[in-house]
Chain A
Amino acid sequence: MLKFENVNVSYGAVQILWDVNFEIDDGEIITIIGPNGAGKTTIAKTIMGLFKPTSGTIEFDGKQIHIAPTHQIVKDGIALVPEGRDLFPRMTIMENLQMGAHTSNEKKETLKWVFELFPRLEERQKQFAGTMSGGEQQMLAIARGLMSRPKLLILDEPSLGLSPIMVNKVFEIVKILKSQGVTVLLVEQNIHHALEVSNRGYVLETGRITLEGASSELLDNKHVKEAYLGM
């Protein structure tokens, strides 16, 4: 479904991603883990066309998307729930969801589906996004991402800064999406949780993929255990 081939990305003179190669198949949950500043968010934003690779190609559903503008990539079926959520604070929950469906023609059905996943949002649809708690904002951000009915949903550190209850809730949602066949790319520091719900994972360190494998393998890997799980 998505394929990175030798992707290099720079901010000005500083190169951030180095020959990144990875792949996501239909219906898979993939996790990218890595330390702060490794370039995980940069991968997510590059998929969305917010950064352009200096070389390499990104293919989505057989289409080269690394040259496409962001709004086209969204139309093609990718949604990013950004790190830090980036909600529209002076819009209501409902308006945020409507924005999520900006490119979609089946708003009503999608809204029903999303409210089934997040019943709290339906109750409070007139509340302004800026007045919600961090956990609720994260739920809204995910819900907004789903409103475009994406073929691929990218979640950038969805559990960052949340209470343990909310963290569980986030991964619960990922499991439900998995069972419904939505393809998800998870970027996480919460490695244990993330690898548990995903099929495969990649380790990104200083802009390079250093390890890849089935999630269970990665959880057992000596380097992952020492560097990321503190074992």
Chain B
Amino acid sequence: MAEITTLIQIFIWGLTAGCIYVLMAVGLNMIFGVMKVVNFAHGEIMMLGAFTSFWVYNYTGINPYFIMFISMIVVGIFGVIIERYGFRKVLGTGKLNEIFLSLGLIYIIQNLSVKLWTDDIRKINSPFSSMTLDLGMLNITYDRLIAIGFTALILISLYLFLTKTDVGRALRATSQNHEAAMLMGVNVNHMYMLSFGIGSALAAAAGTIAAILTPFNPYMGTISGIMAFTVIIIGGLGSIPGAIIAGLMLGLVQNFTIFYFGGAWKDAVAFVLLIIVLIIKPTGLFGEEH
């Protein structure tokens, strides 16, 4: 039996990894909920978020947690543009077109990024990187606590936006019944752009946190993207609470698996979890029965 302090340490690592998954998966679900489109290039959007933060940090040196919000805005606007001039054009022309558009985006964004920035390993150095919260036997780095705090802050803001504002309500209405939303006078094209913008901004936040905690290069989005899909399927397609629960669950399960069975099982266990959940509940934890 491991020391209790070790277990707490792993728990915190699991939670931070989970936070990144949650931000990714909630963003993906925002887009899927409103547009019924799966953006397979979501991981690459995350990577763009990491690089945006990295370069702003490199040139200005200001606090990377502040830069995270700049990156969210920049990448959010990029998301709006790829919706407007990419996904909008193929929407309703067949699922295959949407799939190939987003698969194509993966390689376009990845290759361009390697061309521009090489595939060198980089990292954003947080001013808190050497600081830890010292609780006797237990050492927790500030950056992990801040990551958890910012994730909570972003999710609470998103919740308030979706439930307390007219625009947020219109977004939810569009995801629940697209035609009925139109009949309420909602311009659903605006909702599409907005959902892509918000989803991409959340991915940028995830990318920035990931780039502060671990080294990255233009390929960082590949496995993160796949994990984000795993999370939304485990949590139930389109369900934001499902994405939050499943994201944290996956982060924790992965980190305890690394500790007990070794790092080689880290990605495999995600799919074991996926298969178990789908056998018990084919629509995912919070998915709706149709």
Contact = CB atoms under 8 A, between A and B. Distances in A.
B170 interface: yes
Contacts of B176: 88-91
Interface stretch (A14-22, A95-103, A194-202): A95-103
A156 B172 CA distance: 24
Contacts, number: 61
A86 B180 contact: yes
Interface residues of A, number: 24
Contacts of B182: 48, 50, 70-71
B173 A99 contact: yes
Interface in A102-124: 102-103
A98 B170 CA distance: 10
Contact of B183 (A48, A90, A95, A98): A48
Interface of A: 48, 50, 69-71, 74-75, 79-80, 82, 86-91, 95, 98-100, 102-103, 144, 148
Contacts of B169: 91, 95, 98-99
A142 to B, nearest CB: 13
Nearest to A141: B180
A71 B177 CA distance: 15
B180 A103 contact: no
A98 B181 CA distance: 12
B170 A99 contact: yes
A128 B278 CA distance: 28
Contacts of A88: 172-173, 176-177, 180
A37 to B, nearest CB: 20
Interface residues of B, number: 17
A102 B166 contact: yes
Nearest to B183: A80
Which of B173, B181, B185: most chain A Cβ within 10 A? Answer: B185
Given A91-B173, A99-B169, A102-B170, A79 B183 contact: yes
B184 interface: yes
Question: Dominant SS at the A interface?
Answer: loop
Contacts of B5: none
B63 interface: no
A102 B186 contact: yes
A139 B186 CA distance: 22
Contacts of B187: 69, 71
B177 to A, nearest CB: 5
Contact of B185 (A71, A82, A87, A89): A71
Nearest to B177: A86
B179 interface: yes
A99 B179 contact: no
Given A87-B180, A91-B173, A100-B184, 12 more contacts: A50-B179, A50-B183, A69-B187, A70-B185, A71-B185, A71-B186, A71-B187, A82-B179, A88-B173, A91-B176, A98-B166, A99-B173
Contacts of A50: 179, 182-183
Interface in B105-120: none
6 A-B pairs with the lowest CB-CB distances in the bound complex, closest first:
A74-B185, A103-B185, A86-B180, A70-B182, A71-B187, A88-B176
A202 to B, nearest CB: 22
Given A50-B179, A102-B166, A74 B184 contact: yes
Contacts of B181: 99
A86 B180 CA distance: 6
A87 B173 CA distance: 9
A148 B185 contact: yes
A102 B184 contact: yes
